[in-house]
Amino acid sequence: MAITKLIADSITSGAIANTPAFYAYKSSGQTISNNTNTKVTFETELFDSDGKYNTSNSRFTPSVAGKYLVTAVVSMTNHPSSKYVGLYPYKNGSQIYSELDVNGTAGDFDTRVTGTFIVDLDADDYLEIFTRHNGDATENTRSGHEVRFMAQRIIE
């Protein structure tokens, strides 16, 4: 009985919940310059369990230390063949993983790069997503759920 009560109280209070968690996406395309790391602005939230994602600066600041499962997707329109699109996660203003990238194939087409990773965050750390391409000119991201950023705390 005491164990059941402890578990129920922990779940209800959020003590063992996988929050904070959020899902943000782009409501319109964003112009990305050639060969320049550019911060992707995810200005629309699908949900934000604890209000920890800031749409005005496209940052996730958890305020709860722990390990977080993070996924980001960037899709570019009409990406040239044999060129790359990179996805770069940043923590506190510094790149934390080598680029996650995809190369084009024959012909111009929409290109998507997806990255999923686990990162340790302190309460005051923040995460952002950057992208880069070498398409020889400016390119535009797609919009909607084709360009998204999400995270949730992992229960350990």
Instruction: In whole angstroms, give the CA distance from residue 18 to residue 27.
Output: 26
3-class secondary structure, 120:
strand
List, in sequence order, every residue forming a beta bridge with 133; answer none if it has no partner.
85
Q: What is the pLDDT of residues 39-97, one digit of tens each?
A: 999 999 999 999 999 999 999 999 999 999 999 999 888 877 778 888 999 999 999 98
User: Model's pTM, two decimal places?
Assistant: 0.85
86 versus 148: the higher-pLDDT residue is 148
Contact 11, 126 (CB under 8 A): no
Residue 44 pairs in a beta bridge with: 25
pLDDT digits (tens, 9 = 90+) for 1-32: 455 554 555 555 555 678 999 999 999 999 99
Tell which phi-psi region holds residue 42, choosing left (phi > 0), alpha (psi between -120 and 50) or beta.
beta
